[in-house]
Amino acid sequence: MLALGKLLELTLAGREPTEKIQLTAGGARLHWLAEGALEVSPPATHDSGFDLLLSAGIHGNETAPIELLDRLLQGIARGELKPRARVLFLLGNPAAMRRGERYLEQDINRLFNGRHAESSGFEALRANELERLAAAFFGKPQRQRLHYDLHTAIRGSKIEQFALYPYSEGRTHSRAELARLRAAGIEAVLLQSKPGITFSAYTYAQLGAEAFTLELGKARPFGQNGAVNVERLESRLRHLIAGDEPAIDAGDLEGLQVFSVAREIIKRSEGFRLHLPDDIENFSELPLGSLLAEDGGTRWLIEEAGARIIFPNPKVKNGLRAGILIVPTTF
C-alpha cells in the first residue's frame, strides 16, 4: 500500500510524509497538502466531474467517522477502490485527535464563516486553514460539489443517524440529496433556517457545495466503534468515489424523518440553567408547557406541539447555543 494511504497513522504520530505525491497502479494521484489533509485525483481520462469533500475529526474524540475515512483512503492506496471522483480527505483537529479530546481550547465547529477571525489560538488557526483547503478544492468550475462532515454525538439519540442541512439565502434544499442520504442509511434530516458557523455551513453558503453535517452514533475511543453501523454510508461513499453510484429516486423519501428548527437556546450567562436530565437523548420529545431553560430573566417554555431537543449542552461558552428545539415538518 502507498505510504500516503496511512494518513491517519501519520496524523496521530504528528509526522509529515517524506513523499508528498504518490501514484497508484491505476494512475490515481495522492497529494498530501497539510497535516490531516490529502487530495485524491483520478486519471484525467477517468474523471467523472464530481468533487467530494469528506471531513471527520473536527471533534477529536469522534473516532468512528475517522476510521471510516481511513478505510476508504486505504482502499484507494491499495488500488482496490479506483476513484473517478476528486476526493479531499480532511482530519479536522489533529491535536485533539492525539489527545482523545473533543477540542483543546475551543470548538472548531463554531469557528467557521468568519468566526475564526474574531478569535485566536490553535483551533481558530486550524478553522482558517480548513476553509482555505476546502475553497481551493472546490475552486474548479462546472463540477458537482458535495461535502459530508462526519461526526458522532456526545450523547445517545432516539434517532441514531441523522443529518443537519445548512441554510443559505436564495438556495433551495435538494430533494435528490435527501434521497441520497436516505439511501446511505440516514434516518432523519434537520433543515436549518438561518446561516450557521459550522464547517458544512461554510462550504454550503460560501463555496456552493451541497453540504451536510452527519451524526452517525455515539462518540467512542478508537477501536471501540463496533456499535456504530456505517455500512450503508460506507457503501454509498465507495460508489460516489468510484463513479458507479446506483440511481437515486428523488421522489422516494419514505422512511426519512424531516424536522425544522423551531428555536435555538442560546446561553447568555453563567446563570444559565437547562431543566433537562443530564442523560437525556437527542430527539427526546418535550411536553407542552414545560420549562426548558432559564437565564436571568429569560425563560424558555415549550410552546410547540411535537417539539424535540437535540444537542442539549449547558456547558457551552456564553453566546453559543445550548440546545436546538426542533419540530416535525414535511418536504
Q: Which CATH class is domain 263-328?
A: mainly beta
Q: Hey, what CATH topology would domain 3-242 get?
A: Aminopeptidase (3.40.630)
Answer whether 122's CB lies under 8 Å from 111's CB: no
Question: What are the φ and ψ backbone dihedral angles of 257, each rounded to 5 degrees?
Answer: -85, 135
SS3 (DSSP) at 230: coil
* Residue 331 confidence (pLDDT) above 90: no
d(CA 168, CA 170) in angstroms, rounded, equals 6
pLDDT score of 121: 92
pLDDT score of 224: 74
pLDDT score of 138: 98
Confidence of residue 69 (pLDDT cuts 50, 70, 90): very high
Q: Which residues contact 39 (CB under 8 A, 6 or more apart)?
A: 30, 31, 33, 86, 87, 88, 89, 137
Residue of 215, 231, 303, 304 with catalytic role: 215
Confidence of residue 227 (pLDDT cuts 50, 70, 90): low
Strand partners, 312: none
Q: What is the mean pLDDT of the segment spanning 59-64?
A: 94
Spans of all domains in the chain: 3-242, 263-328
DSSP secondary structure code for residue 26 in this structure: T
For the stretch 138-193, pLDDT in tens is 999 999 999 999 999 888 899 999 999 999 999 999 999 999 999 999 999 999 98
pLDDT score of 111: 96
Handedness of CA 23, 25, 27, 28 (dihedral sign): negative
* Residue 119 confidence (pLDDT) above 70: yes
* Residue 242 confidence (pLDDT) above 80: yes
pLDDT score of 225: 75
Pairing of strands 321-328, 21-23: unpaired
Say whether 105 is catalytic. Answer: no
pLDDT score of 330: 86
Answer whether 39's CB lies under 8 Å from 86's CB: yes
Burial (CB count <10 Å: 0-12, 13-18, 19+), residue 169: exposed
* Residue 223 confidence (pLDDT) above 80: no
Same CATH topology for 3-242 and 263-328?
no
* Residue 42 confidence (pLDDT) above 80: yes
Q: What is the mean pLDDT of the segment spanning 294-321?
A: 92
For the stretch 256-279, pLDDT in tens is 999 999 999 999 999 999 999 999
Specify the pTM.
Answer: 0.94
* Residue 26 confidence (pLDDT) above 70: yes
